[in-house]
Amino acid sequence: MSLQPPHSLRARLLWLLLAVIVVTALVQAIVAYRTARAEADEIFDYHMQQTALSLRSGLPRQAAAGHDDDEAHDESYDFVVQVWTQDGLRVFQSARAAIPRRETMGFSDVPARGTTYRVFTMRSGAQVIQVAQDMAARREMAGTLALRTAAPIAVMAPLSMLLVWWVISSSLAPVQRVRRQVSERQADDLNEVSEAGLPDEVRPLVHELNLLFARVRQAFDAQKSFVADAAHELRSPLAALKLQVQGLQRASDDGTRELAVARLHAGIDRATRLVEQLLVLARHEASAAGGQRPHPVALSELVKQAVADIAGAAQSRRIDIGVSRADEGAFPGHPDAARILVRNLLDNAVKYTPEGGTVDVEVQRSGDAWLLEVQDSGPGIDEVDRERVLDRFYRVAGSQATGSGLGLAIVKSIADLHGAVLTLDRSARLGGLCVSVRFPVGS
C-alpha cells in the first residue's frame, strides 16, 4: 500500500524542510570528508618531501655507525626511510622490511608487503633518498581528521531540525488559532474571525471567509425578516377569506350568495397576488445573498418583452402602453432580477393608471449610466409618501387599486443589488408618477 503525502501544511513543511536539511547535511559531510582527506594527503606528501630534503645534509648517526639497530626496527615509524648509493647499495634503512627501490623520481604508489605504499624518491648528489608511508596508516589518520571536520555538521543537523520545527510551529500558530475559533463556534455564530497576526498568505483567505459569513448572516437576517413579514401580512387576507367563506355559508338567497362568491374570488386573487410577490421577493433575496456573478443585461430587450407580456392587461382597460425610446446595448448585472424590476414597474403603472390612461417607457444610455423611466397618467404619489412606498407592505392611504405593498420594495431591493439609483417623481409630461432607475455602466 502506497503512503499518501501528508495533507497538513505544517506536516508537509516540516517533512520537506527536514528532508532538505538531512540531504544538505549528508552532502556537506561527504564533501567535507573528501576535502579533508585530500588536504591530509597533501600534508602527508609535504612531510615526506621535507623528510627527504632533511637527509641531504647527511645520514642519521645509526647509519654513520654502519649498523642497523634492532630496537629501531621494532619501533613504529610513520615513514620508512631508505638511502642508496649511486651503485644501488643501501646505506640506510629506518625499518626492518625494505621497500623496493624506485628509479622514478617524485611521488608514486608502490605495492609491497601485502599493502600499498606512498613513495617519494629524490636524488641528492651520489645518493638516492626514498621516503615511504603505508597507505593504510595514511588513510586511517586522514579519515580521523576528516571525521573531526564532518562531526560539527552531524551535530548541527539535529539542531537545525529543532530550529525549523520551532519556526514553522510558531509561524503557523495564528492559523491554528483561526482553526480553533471556527471549530469551537456555534452554528449560528457568524461573527467575523480575527485577522490579527495572520501571515499575508493566509489573511486573504480569512478575509474572504469573513465576507462569506457576512453574506450568510445577511441571508439569515433577510430570511428572518421575510418570514416575520410574510406571517404578518398573510394573517389578514387569510382571516378575510375565512370571513368571506362564512358569509357565503350564511347567504340566504342567490343575490347574497353571488355577492359573497365574488368577494371570495377577489379575496383569493389578492391572496394569490400577495403569495406571488412574496415568492418573488424571497427568490430575489436568495439570489442576492448568493453573490451571483454579473452577466450582460440588455435592458431594452427586457422592456420590450415586459411590455408584450402586460399588453393584454393594459388593453382590457384601454391603457395606451408603449416604448418611446429603447437604446441598444448591455451592462453587467443580473438579468433575472432586472426582468423582475421591469415587470413590477409596469405592473404598478398599469394597475394605478385609470382606464383610458397612458403608460410610457424609455431606455436610454446617458453618459456613464443606463436610464430606465416608466411614466404614467395615474394619480401619482405625494412627496411625503415617496420614501415610505419603498418599504415592504406599505400602501398609500386611500388607494383604490388592490395590491400587497411589495412591488416597489422589490424594485428598490433589485436596484440596490445593481448599485442603481431609484427616484420617484411626478411626470411632467403625463401628470402621474415617473419612476427612474439609473444603472451604472460599471456595476
Q: What is the pLDDT of residues 92-124, one digit of tens each?
A: 877 666 677 777 788 888 887 777 888 888 888
Position 393 scores a pLDDT of 62
* DSSP codes, 140-182: HHHHHHHHHHHHHHHHHHHHHHHHHHHHHHHHTHHHHHHHHHH
Q: What is the reported pLDDT for 76?
A: 41
- 316: pLDDT strictly greater than 80: yes
At residue 77 the predicted structure's pLDDT band, cuts being 50, 70 and 90, is very low
> One-letter amino acid identity for 417?
L
Q: What is the pLDDT of residue 78?
A: 67
Residue whose C-alpha is closest to residue 299's, from 338, 347, 349: 338
Question: For 55-103, where are the alpha helices, taking DSSP H only?
Answer: 61-65, 70-74
Of 118 and 228, which is predicted with more confidence? 118
Between 403 and 255, the more confident residue is 255
Cα→Cα distances 427→373, 378, 431, Å: 10, 10, 5
* pLDDT at residue 317, as a whole number: 86
Question: Which residues are CB-contacts of 440 (< 8 A; sequence separation ≥ 6)?
Answer: 331, 368, 369, 418, 419, 420
Instruction: Identify residue 428 by its one-letter amino acid code.
Output: A
Q: Please determine, for residue 403, whether its predicted confidence score (pLDDT) is greater than 60.
A: no
Among the residues of 191-334, which ranges form H helices?
A: 203-250, 254-289, 299-316
Report the C-alpha gap between 345 and 53 in whole angstroms.
Answer: 113
Tens digit of each residue's pLDDT (9 = 90 or more) over 14-66: 788 888 888 888 888 788 778 877 887 888 888 888 888 888 766 655 544 44
Question: Cell digits for 144?
Answer: 580521523
User: What local confidence, expressed as pLDDT, does residue 225 receive?
Assistant: 67
Using the structure block, give the residue that is written with the C-alpha cell 600534508. 43
CA distances from 311 to 314, 343, 359, 431 (A): 5, 12, 11, 21
pLDDT at 240 over 80: no
pLDDT at 400 over 70: no
Comparing CA positions, the residue from 331, 294, 324, 313 lying closest to residue 440 is 331
Q: Give residue 360's pLDDT.
A: 92
- Cell readout for 165 is 520545527
Per-residue model confidence as pLDDT tens digits over 276-305: 766 766 666 666 555 567 788 888 898 888
- The DSSP symbol for 57 reads G
Q: Is residue 306 scored above 80 in pLDDT?
A: yes
Tell me the pLDDT tens digit for each residue of 335-392.
878 888 888 888 888 888 888 899 999 999 888 888 999 999 888 888 777 787 777 6
Per-residue pLDDT at 289: 54
Grid coordinates belonging to 238: 387569510
> Would you state the pLDDT for residue 213?
79
**pTM given for the model:** 0.46
**Who contacts 362 (Cβ-Cβ below 8 Å, separation ≥6)?**
323, 324, 325, 326, 371, 372, 373, 375
Name which of 81-95, 151-165, 183-197 the model is least confident about: 183-197
**CA nearest 273: which of 245, 235, 237, 313?**
237
Q: Which of 408, 415, 378, 412 is nearest to 393 (CA)?
A: 408
